């Protein structure tokens, strides 16, 4: 098999890149380790920056998103029983969109099917060969049968545990990582949201987040120990603990119900450099991970796709390699700013086991400065809605 761009990973970033390139007449093949149903069964965040929304529109897959999404003009920050709002629209002139990653992925799958896009599911034993040459190729197996794709370029959109990053030699790549000493216990419930905006809550008992997917589907999180398992928390225990961490008026308004999904996610910050080796380009979680505080995971993947898409279109249409030559430089410049914002929000709102009384006073002073200072609120709003590409 031959194609112009082999894309490893059939999640939203790989599918979005494939869709964008297809509309420019550039041929792709997407390799996905799991089935479509498995990918669509993964519960992920759903806050989309303006840049991601615009990419979906450019890809021609925004109709349902524009019809069904929630527009969020701001957010609420609470500490103890104190709370204040930050209006993104007022500070930046734009908003964020709440539209679940599962729905983004579903729309992209439907679009690729409609346009006859090539997606190979249930692939195994994927290997990237000759990435540092002018004739890369990818080998893999499906049902035990060996397959090969010859291509011009390879896009590694296969996540933190995928093969793409591991293909770059250790003497070429450098990795930066911070592991946080806690996780997030998340619950999805068929209940109305407790507030029309997200609530980021800092309390003496730890962090909490009140979010939503739609009018009848809510997503809540609480900071928990890394030693916890989802089964350690009954639904009642979760709701009781959430109430203790959010403002009293929100606790009183909270509608509870059975959880339809419950999981614990560890928090880490991670970046690998460079994001390009020869004709292999890393995108999304294959190259970087952020804590979920601030909702940058999917959005940082989208910025990678923006830079790679434009670079590949440039080289295929004009032969000019400037875009792909500077891909890693451009992507990393924005990634590190998103890493900083996620790290800052995580440190602002969580309880750390080694915090001294002085550290706790500084944390509260930082929140109160954010509450009272317009410039600080503007900086947060600019980062939250998404820095320009």
Which residues are part of the catalytic machinery?
72, 200, 292, 296, 384
Distance CA 296, CA 214 (A): 20
Half-sphere exposure (CA, 13 Å, Cβ side) for 209? 23
Closest CA to 77 of 169, 195, 167: 195
Residue with tokens 């609120």: 377
Can you point out the beta strands (E) in 239-350? 259-273, 276-277, 280-282, 288-289
Closest CA to 277 of 160, 159, 174: 174
Q: How far apart are the first and last CA of the chain?
A: 34
Give the bridge partners for 123, in sequence order: 142
354 token code pair: 């080694």
Estimate to the nearest angstrom the gap between the alpha carbon of 42 and the chain centroid.
13
Closest CA to 256 of 332, 188, 174: 188
Residue with tokens 């006073």: 361
Distance CA 236, CA 34 (A): 34
Q: What is the CA radius of gyration of the chain?
A: 21
Q: Does residue 274 have a cis bond before it (omega within 30 degrees)?
A: yes
């Amino acid at each position: 098999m031959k194609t112009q761009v082999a894309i490893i990973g059939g999640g939203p970033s790989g599918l979005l890149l494939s869709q964008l390139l297809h509309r420019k007449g550039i041929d792709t093949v997407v390799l996905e380790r799991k089935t479509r149903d498995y990918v669509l069964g993964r519960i992920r965040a759903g806050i989309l920056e303006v840049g991601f929304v615009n990419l979906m529109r450019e890809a021609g897959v925004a109709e349902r998103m524009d019809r069904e999404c929630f527009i969020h003009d701001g957010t609420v920050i609470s500490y103890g029983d104190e709370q204040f709002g930050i209006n993104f629209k007022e500070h930046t002139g734009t908003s964020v969109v709440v539209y679940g990653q599962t729905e983004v992925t579903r729309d992209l799958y439907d679009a690729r099917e409609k346009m006859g896009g090539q997606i190979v599911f249930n692939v195994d034993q994927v290997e990237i060969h000759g990435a540092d040459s002018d004739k890369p190729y990818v080998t893999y197996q499906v049902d035990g049968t060996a397959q090969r794709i010859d291509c011009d370029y390879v896009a590694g959109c296969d996540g933190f545990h995928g093969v793409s990053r591991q293909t770059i030699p250790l003497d070429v790549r450098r990795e930066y990582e911070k592991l946080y000493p806690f996780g997030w216990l998340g619950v999805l419930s068929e209940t109305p949201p407790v507030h029309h905006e997200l609530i980021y809550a800092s309390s003496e008992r730890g962090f909490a987040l009140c979010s939503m997917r739609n009018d009848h589907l809510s997503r809540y999180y609480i900071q928990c120990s890394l030693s916890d398992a989802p089964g350690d928390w009954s639904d009642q225990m979760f709701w009781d603990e959430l109430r203790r961490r959010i403002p009293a008026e929100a606790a009183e308004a909270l509608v509870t119900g059975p959880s339809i999904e419950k999981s614990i996610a560890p928090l880490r910050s991670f970046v690998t450099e460079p994001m390009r080796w020869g004709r292999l380009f890393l995108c999304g979680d294959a190259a970087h991970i952020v804590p979920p505080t601030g909702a940058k995971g999917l959005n940082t993947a989208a910025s990678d796709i923006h830079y790679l898409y434009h670079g590949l279109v440039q080289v295929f249409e004009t032969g000019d390699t400037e875009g792909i030559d500077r891909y890693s430089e451009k992507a990393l410049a924005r990634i590190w700013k998103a890493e900083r914002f996620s790290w800052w929000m995580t440190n602002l709102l969580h309880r750390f086991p080694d915090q001294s009384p002085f550290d706790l006073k500084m944390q509260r002073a930082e929140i109160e400065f954010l509450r009272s200072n317009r410039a600080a609120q503007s900086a947060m709003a600019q980062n939250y809605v998404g820095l320009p590409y």
